[in-house]
Amino acid sequence: MIVLLVAPYSALPVPGLLDGSLGSPGSLQLIALCLVYGALATGYDLLLGRTGLLSFGHALYFATGLYATDLAMLELGFPFLVAALFGVGCSTALALLLGSVSLRVTGIGFSMVTLAFAQAGSILIQRNPGGVTGGEEGRAAPADLLPGSLVGIENTANLYWIALAYLLLTLALVRWTVSSPTGRVWEGIRENERRVEVLGLRPYGFKLVAFVLAGGLAGAGGVVYLLLTGGAAPQAATSDATLALLVMVVLGGSGTRWGPLLGGALYTWAAHRLGDLANSAAIADLPAVLRVPLSQPLFLLGTLFIAVVYVLPGGLAALPARIRAARTGSAAAAHTPEGGSA
């Protein structure tokens, strides 16, 4: 946390991890994107890790907040703050509407319904109805309707603080709800939904609360992403975007406090940095048998993900416990007489 607070003021070079110094505009934007996706993964884990709901359509609510905010400024002339509230409201309302339908089924049926809704939203954006979404090119955010302190490379630090605030808000809300009576019911639903029903509770309502809260947080992430990237693009609404969130959560550790945040930040950083590595001269000089796979960022990301899953089955969040267990085991073995029993 201290590093995050001092990053905008630091001129410390971080070779290999970032381009330029820690506080340079390019580095701050990449860190801010890592924070946004870390928060998105944390919100998505309310469904996957906390309630046991495997949704394949979570990116739809992120894209709704992104596009609704942008279009509210472009088409309706709303000032940014009003447009941002409109975007988050649209995401929350859509999550309430589609969640009330999707949660009528369970298991793989629920996953397929959420995927169908996400695919429909992605197709709608790409078809560009009425010319409002921009199709495959997307729509740029209107700089004249954004606050001057949020426009331009010289104000990247301000965008960084907004991304950090969004992360802290998400962590606080998730922590509060998970620790509440509702959060304990979510845990029960994840472990055994039938037992929750036997206790006289209706799982449907509790699952809908998780779905709507996660959708609203995703919509807020879309607003921050709009500021960071300066526009809305259809890639944000694809099912691949939700699969990326799923990978982030598993990579970091599903159902843990810090795991999704770590997984989201690492995945986002790797997606950007491995792309630079894939196009580097060092890779270009390799023999074709190595150059071809290593020049594909997705291949590098997939290899990283598989390695982490095999080496750390519980994700990055399980690493400290594994290190402590290894040290304890080593210490116990050192104090055990040869041939004796511990």
Which H or E run includes 231? strand 231-232
- Whether 89 has a pLDDT exceeding 60, the answer reads yes
Q: Can you list the alpha helix ranges (DSSP code H) found in 143-235?
A: 156-179, 181-198, 203-229
Mean pLDDT for the chain overall = 86
Rounded Cα gap, residues 103 and 208, in angstroms: 7
- Whether 78 has a pLDDT exceeding 60, the answer reads yes
Give tens-digit pLDDT for 38-65: 999 999 999 999 999 999 999 999 999 9
Position 323 in a domain: no
| Number of domain units in the chain | 1
- Whether 341 has a pLDDT exceeding 60, the answer reads no
Give tens-digit pLDDT for 228-259: 998 888 888 777 788 889 889 988 888 888 89
- pLDDT over 70, % of the chain: 89
Position 313 in a domain: no
Position 341 in a domain: no
Q: Give the per-residue pLDDT at 174.
A: 95
The terminus-to-terminus CA distance of the chain in angstroms comes to: 41
- Whether 176 has a pLDDT exceeding 80, the answer reads yes
Position 143 in a domain: yes
Do residues 163 and 150 touch, judged by C-beta distance below 8 A?
no
Position 15 in a domain: no
Q: Can you list the alpha helix ranges (DSSP code H) found in 253-318?
A: 259-278, 281-284, 288-294, 297-311
Q: Give the per-residue pLDDT at 338.
A: 56
Per the structure, the complete domain to which residue 101 belongs is given by 21-239
Position 35 in a domain: yes
Rounded Cα gap, residues 264 and 254, in angstroms: 12
Most confident of 73-82, 132-141, 306-315: 73-82
Position 272 in a domain: no
Position 191 in a domain: yes
Q: Give the per-residue pLDDT at 342.
A: 41
- Beta partners for residue 13, in sequence order: 21
**What number of residues does the chain have?**
342
- Whether 202 has a pLDDT exceeding 60, the answer reads yes
**Is 0.75 topped by the overall pTM?**
yes
What integer is the mean pLDDT of 306-315? 77
- Beta partners for residue 232, in sequence order: 139
Most confident of 1-5, 82-86, 317-321: 82-86
